[in-house]
């Protein structure tokens, strides 16, 4: 009797509790089983923040699913809907405020086991690529989300392979390979040895191959940088080829004429070979002397067109288009005769008018030494005796001797 009363009291209490719960839920706007809090799950803390994640396909993800970071629950799925474009799934998440993730975090839709539940895995990029802080109102776009392959998709692909897929072809390939290899073991072994040697050689020259690839890369970069110039050349190459095509006959005629000219030149050289060699041998002394002269010849030619001034004086020493030359001419007859008597040669010797002026005069000793030459002055203005070889003998012509006679030269 007591047991029956106790059972009826427990059932009444449970019924009353369920009735109160239903009344409370109906009063708060109950919208389905997803609004009933489940035991366990992530600790959202006192002030969780809301964020959104967009997926191309959420598969069978449902609200209240877990949100994890490094396999640790940090939140849950609050709502699943469509984005503004009407094609992308948008998932609203509630995340614990203590979660430290950058604003450029990624989200992946994963499965806890082969037949387990779906959950969202939040991951952080490399430390060097972290930007900002994930917080209230943040959104991860489709470009940073992904999902794992479903078991159904794997089984479907396997069924396509087994049912009319590649299994039958594998059997054919195996049969043909057996037909090829039977009786050719030695050749196949030699082929494998050659392949092994080739692989070793490639490995030894890997650095050279890398340098060659780097060179090709640099060349391609150069070609890319000069793409406009190359395009311009290719564009202008067509008209040039057209001109060459139009002048093809003239070019052929020119080449034929050059062939005839070369034949004539070869025949001429062969016939004049001895004379040409003799001329070259005859020019050998002249060319040798020119080589010995070296830089003296061009230096001497510098004054040829600027006599009596050196080229350096004309180019840099004088300003203007004319130069002045001052000469002191001593036309004293007595001085001229003294200079003439001291000359080593007589340019007027044998002339009927003057005769031999250097002959000793009447009453003079024919063996007497000649008068001493006048002392020369050096660059410092000091007097001194003339050095041997300082005066060159005059030329045999009368003009040169007369000039030496008038100037007192020897």
Query: Which positions ≥6 away from 244 have C-beta within 8 Å?
Result: 251
Q: What's the pLDDT score for residue 91?
A: 94
Query: Tell me, what's the pLDDT at 10?
Result: 44
pLDDT of res. 80: 93
Instruction: Measure the CA–CA gap between 381 and 294, rounded to whole angstroms.
Output: 34
pTM: 0.35
Cα dihedral value 307, 313, 316, 317, nearest 10? -130
- Structure confidence by residue, pLDDT tens digits, 173-215: 888 888 888 888 889 899 999 999 999 999 999 999 999 999 9
Using an 8 Å Cβ cutoff, are 140 and 54 in contact? Answer: yes
What's residue 34's pLDDT? 53
- Residue numbers in the chain where pLDDT is lower than 50: 1-10, 13, 17, 20, 23-28, 352-355, 357, 371-400, 402, 405-406, 410
pLDDT at 343: 63
């Amino acid at each position: 009797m007591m047991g029956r009363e106790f059972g009826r009291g427990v059932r009444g209490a449970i019924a009353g509790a369920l009735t109160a719960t239903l009344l409370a839920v109906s009063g708060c706007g109950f919208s389905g089983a997803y609004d009933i809090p489940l035991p366990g799950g992530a600790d959202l803390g006192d002030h969780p923040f809301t964020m959104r994640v967009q997926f191309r396909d959420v598969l069978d993800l449902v609200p209240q699913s877990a949100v994890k970071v490094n396999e640790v629950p940090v939140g849950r799925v609050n709502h699943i809907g469509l984005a503004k474009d009407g094609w992308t799934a948008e998932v609203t998440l509630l995340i614990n405020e203590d979660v430290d993730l950058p604003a450029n975090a990624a989200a992946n839709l994963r499965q806890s086991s082969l037949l387990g539940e779906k959950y969202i895995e939040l991951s952080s990029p490399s430390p060097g690529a972290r930007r900002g802080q994930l917080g209230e109102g943040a959104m991860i776009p489709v470009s940073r989300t992904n999902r794992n392959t479903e078991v159904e998709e794997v089984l479907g692909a396997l069924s396509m392979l087994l049912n009319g897929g590649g299994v039958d072809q594998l059997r054919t390939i195996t049969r043909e390979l057996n037909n090829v290899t039977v009786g050719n073991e030695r050749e196949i072994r030699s082929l494998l040895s050659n392949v092994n040697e080739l692989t070793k050689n490639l490995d030894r020259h890997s650095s050279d191959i890398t340098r060659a690839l780097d060179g090709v890369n640099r060349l391609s970069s150069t070609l890319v940088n000069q793409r406009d110039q190359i395009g311009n050349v290719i564009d202008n190459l067509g008209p040039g080829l057209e001109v060459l095509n139009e002048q093809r006959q003239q070019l052929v005629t020119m080449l034929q004429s050059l062939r005839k000219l070369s034949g004539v030149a070869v025949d001429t050289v062969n016939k004049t070979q001895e004379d040409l060699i003799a001329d070259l041998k005859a020019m050998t002394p002249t060319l040798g002397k020119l080589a010995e002269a070296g830089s003296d010849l061009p230096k001497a030619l510098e004054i040829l067109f600027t006599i009596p001034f050196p080229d350096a004086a004309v180019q840099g020493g004088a300003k203007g288009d004319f130069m002045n030359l001052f000469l002191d001419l001593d036309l004293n007859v007595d001085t001229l005769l003294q200079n003439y008597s001291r000359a080593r040669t007589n340019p007027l010797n044998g002339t009927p008018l003057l005769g031999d002026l250097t002959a000793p005069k009447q009453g003079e000793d024919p063996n007497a030494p000649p008068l001493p030459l006048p002392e020369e002055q050096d660059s410092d203005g000091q007097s001194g005796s003339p050095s041997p070889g300082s005066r060159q003998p005059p030329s045999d012509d009368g003009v040169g001797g007369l000039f030496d006679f008038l100037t007192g030269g020897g």
